[in-house]
Structures are given as C-alpha cells and as structure tokens.
Chains A and B, each alone.
Chain A
C-alpha cells in the first residue's frame, strides 16, 4: 500500500470529498447493485483502461464486470475461461504466469479449476532486466490457445516492464500462435503518473485486434484498498459475442458474491464522471506516482555517489511500487537482521516505504550489504 513521506497511509483528498458528497446525499440508499455492478462505474472503469477514443468502445464490443478488487476480476475471468475457453470446461488449457509473479495468480487460476499452470521467463537476474528472448521463446513453444497473464504495467514484483517495442514483439508472437492475453492492471496511473502511458500495452493489443480480458484494480490508484473496487474489462470481436460472454459471467458472479459492494464503486464512478473531480483525482494520482519516482531517483543517486559496487540504473528504470534490487538472500538477511530494514528474500523492496528521512540510511545499508556480503 502507498505511504506518504511521513510513512502514513493516505486517503486521497478527492476520495474524502466524494465520500462526503455521498454521505450528504439523502437520496442514496443501500439497495442491491445489479449483478454485473454499478453501470456508471463499469463504463467509466473500462473507459479509463481502453481510452476515451477506443475503437473497441465505439464499436460497442466491450463489456465490464464490477468485481471485488483486482483479485475478484481475475477470478471471474479465470472461472469464465475455464468453462468456455478452448472448448467447454477445458481444465487442461495451459495458463502461463511470469517468473516471478504475484503469488496469488497461481492460486486464482488453480482454484478456478485449471490443472496446468506454467511459468514463462521474465526476470533476468544477471542483467537485472527483462529476459525478452526467454519470454518470446516460451510463447513460441507454448501450446496454441494457451492463456498468458500479462502485467499491464509496474510488474509485480520486479517493477520491470517491456518497452513499447518489446510489447509489439510480444503481441506479434501471441497473435501468430493464438495465445490469449489476460492483462492484470493494478497500477494504472500509479506507475508513471500517466493513465495513457500505463495503459499503452493493453490499448496496443486492442488495436491489434486481440480479444482479451483486463482485470483492473482501483485499490492503489484510488487508495480504496479495503472497499474492494475492481473491474474486469472484456474486449471481443463484436457486440453479440460480448453480450453472450457477459451473460455467462453473470451466472458466475451470482454463485460467488451475487452482486458487488456499492460504496467503492460509487466513489470511483462519481469521480470519473465529473470533469472537475477527474482532474483532482489525476493530480492525487500524480502525487503518489511522483513521490515514488522521486524516491527511486534519490536512492539511485545516493548509491552511485557512495560508489556501491554494481550498476543501479535499474532502480530508476523499474517502475511502480516494487523494485527488484538484485540483493541476494544473504544480503537481504543482513539488511533485515543488522539494519532492521525489511524486504523480501527475493530482494524486492516496496518503494513506498522510502521517505526523505530514511533514504540516507537505506542507501548506506544497501552499500554495506553489497560490500560486506557476497
């Protein structure tokens, strides 16, 4: 979760404002939402992902399912794919997740019934970057129709994203081999500060004619973690196909949670549908993104100034909440035990934990870890 420079949780000012508006509106009640969710939320959420000028939206070949956070959107998508993709109830369709990935990806698809969850190359520890060749090779060798979980931006946990040119190569292979793109978009806006930039990959795939799913989370970019606001965007070939897909997703939703929670969706819908509130939100999002970007550049410059062995450009080339520092497990242990800096054994740090007050200490500690421990 995001933290301010004081190390505190941050409720976005626009969220506070909209919550007050909702609290003051006596015409509102707590009635059930439709199964697929609040219509104004669904339309706006998908518009954010696909872009105002999205041809898919204009051609009315998109659908949306309001979900319980990004996890819920992934689960509904996974349950649907297991029932209807690549045949009927084909639990043998391979599902590919990146190495590494958010660990819950595996559980979501397993619990949805998929029996064959595989990995694709992603993180190159030696060069501390994307193993593009490994990734492309895995896609070439994957059985046709395999499902690939792609991180739309701010890859969790490495912070390493393909460049637009690399995404183009990925899309070309996926198209040629009929692989299904399932995007996980948990950080749109939060990563670069630009909604459009962070959605570039998703939109590119749409422009290339793919049918795809995109699981969206509003936990981070709206700071609405505990309200469970998410959306599954479905892009199809035409209206008719999308309508049938949505009708089957409705059945899945009905046996999982019946209909989604209203509070978070109302906040997001109200914000996104008002030009003024939308602008305020954008500023709030940029505040968060900019602080993280600042911490990245400050950490990198300190490490370089200290002459810490190795290269540290990956700290600023990576993006989003997390960074794969490249520290090995022994160095991590040193950080935890001797310096009381908590990070994952993988070397992943949460950039939100950095503040102007602790930057020096963290940089010095990394320096010590790298120089003392090999």
Chain B
C-alpha cells in the first residue's frame, strides 16, 4: 500500500492548462487565446531585440555563476524600483524603500503575501477586485491569508463598476489589505481613469488600508511606461506606503527566465533595512537565492541607455499591435453581422479582453472551433493576428448570434 492512496488528483490549472489542451489539439485553425504570452503578427513568440543584444553582451563578459545575494541582483532591484516609482520619486531618491528580486510576478506576490502573513498585524483579509487573476486567491491562501472581494467589473456594461467599487472599498474595515492591478487589469482589461484612481487613493488613505499593487504590464497597457505606472506613483505621492509586485515576463518577454521584484515603501531608510532583513528570512527557506539570468538581462536593458531606448520602442510596438487587433476584431464582428455591442473590446486595455462570453459559449468555441480561452471568457489579444482575427470573429459570432 502507498502513503499516497488518499491523495486526490488535482484539477488541471485553469490558465496554464488551456495551453496544454491547445497543444494536444490537431485542428490546423486552432487558436491559443489562453495564457498571457505575447505573439507577433505571425502568431510566433517574440524575443525582443534589446533582449538578444543584452544576452550577447552578457555572453561576452564571461561572468561566473556564484550565488546571488538572497535579495537578488542589486543593479536589477534598483532599476526595477526606479522604473516603477520614477527617477524623480521622493521615495526612490530618499531610499525609503526596499526591493527584492522575486521569481517573476508570482514569486514576488508570494513573498509579499508571506511577509504580510508574518508582519501585518491588523488584519488577515486581502480584498481582491471582482474578478481578479485566478492565481491571486490560492497564492494568498497558501500564504495563510483570507480573501475578500470588492466590486470591480460590471458584466452589464463590460466596464468598471466605479460606484460599486467605491461603495465596497469605503466599507472595507480599516487597516485591511486591498490588492489593486496597477494597469491592464487581468482578466478584464478594464482600468480606472486617472480621475477615478484619485478618488480610490483618497478613500484608501482615509480607511488606512494597505495598498498592494500588482504591476505585471508596465508598458504593455498604453505603450508608455510612465502612464502605466501613474496609479502606483500617485498613491505614493499621496503618502500611501504601498507594497508592489512587478513582473518582467510580458514587458520584456522574459517569461521563462522569471524576472520580477517585490517592493515595500517604508517610512524611512532604516525601516527599509529592517524590512529587507525579514524578507530575506522568508526567501531563504523557499529557494535560498534567485536565478540570475533574467535579472541580468533586465538589468542590462534598464541600465544601458541605448538598450533602454530600444526596449521602450519595442514595448510600445507590442502594445500598439494589441490595440490594432482589438480594433480589427470589432470591425470583423460587425462584418460578420453581429448585432451585439462589442465596444468594450476597444475600451479595454492590455493583453486581455473580457469578451462577455458565457462558459457554455466558451466551451463551444473550444470544442467546435478549437479557439482556446479560459472559462471566464477572457481572451489574450496577444494571441490574435491579422491572419486569424477573421476566423475568431466568425467563431464568436457563431456562438453568440
């Protein structure tokens, strides 16, 4: 007999599981609109030129493979903080922050979640927008936190339920934790306008909530890294000491290299040092120290003026292609004769689009058309090309007419 007889078969991961099902499909027209990985207009993975250049530079330097410090590559963490906060940020310049390297967005979120479980004394509750990225809930739960929700997406309008959000946030018990998507909300693509962010910041400050920002798409949403970080920077300027998780998976195409960072804005540099020491104590029993490759590439890009300039152009290029696919999808749906209002597709921003499709419609798209997406109707617009946008529109029309 086995120790494991009672171990249940785990359900396939809803997001990464979509890609695995797609791979098994033999239909030549198949489309993978599941995981948020960028594709070029030929549907191929895109390795950024600035990444290739950085890799060549790294290869020529013939560096050793000694362990990184527990908190990661210093040039990388400093540049990540500066990218998020802005070079003129008082918090950045004064050094009243700590940034540690994390295993992309997930790893950074998890470090933060564990840190809050250990050191956030006033609440176990993390308030997520409804809906949020599917992995947020299990990450916080595994870290020992409890999950609550605030209204966010309005399925009737496929846009932001601002009054509902404000109503819910104003009722969150003081000194709880609220998680906010900095830009390109996942899965809906619905972001608050700056005026709305200002109101949200005011209420978060009034209720003395800990604001936990998840920024996985800086540069990807609008094509402008400063614009995409506006909410993060505004909150800090309003005197809200946020915590922040960053990912370089999408905006630098470094997915499998796992480059990310977790930042805590502190009262002063001394507090930052103490927080850093505790973050290291959390990291060491998880994986000791982080992987170097992605961080080295990202660091070189951010810290080398020519490469940084090239990166900004490339990330804008990716954002622009996505925006253009949104436009084409809507016009193709009209051409198919769809009578539905698809404006939300172009109103939404970033890699993802909440189509408004129901689970049974999604299932038909998968089974009958080999168009793969998550059950919530989320599509990765990055997986749409000028070559397949017509087929997609046709398929969506078939299941919604």
Contact = CB atoms under 8 A, between A and B. Distances in A.
Contacts of A227: 65, 291-293
B286 A256 contact: yes
Interface in A247-283: 247-248, 250-252, 254-264
Contacts of B254: 30
Interface string A71-83: 1100100000000
Contacts of B253: 30
A201 B2 CA distance: 21
Contacts of A84: 4, 6-7
B104 interface: yes
A258 B19 CA distance: 14
14 contacts: A29-B45, A71-B286, A75-B287, A86-B3, A242-B4, A247-B9, A252-B142, A255-B106, A255-B142, A257-B107, A257-B110, A258-B105, A259-B16, A263-B294
A320 interface: no
B287 A257 contact: yes
A268 B77 CA distance: 27
Interface stretch (A104-112, A123-131, A295-303, A359-367): A104-112
Q: Of residues A110, A112, A219, A245, which shows the largest number of chain B Cβ atoms within 10 Å of its Cβ?
A: A245
Given A256-B110, A259-B256, A248 B37 contact: no
Contacts of B294: 261, 263
Nearest to A80: B7
Contact of B135 (A19, A108, A255): A255
B104 A35 contact: no
Given A23-B56, A31-B256, A251-B138, A245 B4 contact: yes
B67 interface: yes
Nearest to B36: A32
A250 B13 contact: yes
Nearest to A266: B256
A133 interface: no
Contacts of B68: 226
Contacts of A247: 9-10
B2 A211 contact: yes
A344 to B, nearest CB: 18
A227 B296 CA distance: 11
B5 interface: yes
Given A32-B255, A68-B103, A258-B104, A248 B291 contact: no
A169 interface: no
A261 B291 CA distance: 7
Contacts of B281: 107
Interface in A92-126: 104, 107-108, 110-112
Contact of B293 (A75, A108, A237, A263): A263
Contacts, number: 188
Interface string B42-82: 00010100010001100100101111100000000000000
Nearest to A70: B288
A223 interface: yes
A255 B135 CA distance: 7
A204 interface: no
Interface string B154-182: 00000000000000000000000000000
B35 interface: yes
A30 B2 contact: no
Q: Of residues A9, A29, A32, A75, which shows the largest number of chain B Cβ atoms within 10 Å of its Cβ?
A: A32
Given A23-B55, A30-B255, A259-B16, A72 B287 contact: yes
B257 interface: yes
A262 B67 CA distance: 17
Nearest to A257: B103
Q: Which 4 A-B pairs have the closest CB atoms?
A: A68-B287, A247-B10, A107-B285, A258-B106
A203 to B, nearest CB: 20
A285 to B, nearest CB: 15
A210 to B, nearest CB: 10
Contacts of A226: 65-68, 289, 291-292
B57 to A, nearest CB: 11
Contact of A34 (B16, B66, B257): B16
B8 interface: yes
B285 A32 contact: no
B87 interface: no
Contacts of A370: none
Contacts of B106: 254-258
Contacts of A252: 142
Given A107-B285, A255-B135, 19 more contacts: A9-B64, A32-B35, A68-B287, A75-B287, A219-B67, A225-B67, A241-B2, A241-B4, A248-B8, A254-B13, A255-B110, A255-B141, A256-B106, A256-B107, A257-B104, A257-B110, A261-B103, A261-B256, A261-B258
Contacts of B6: 84, 88
A260 B66 CA distance: 19
Contacts of B249: 32
B377 interface: no
B292 A237 contact: no
A259 B20 CA distance: 14
A329 B270 CA distance: 34
B284 interface: yes
Contact of A237 (B1, B105, B107): B1
B287 A228 contact: yes
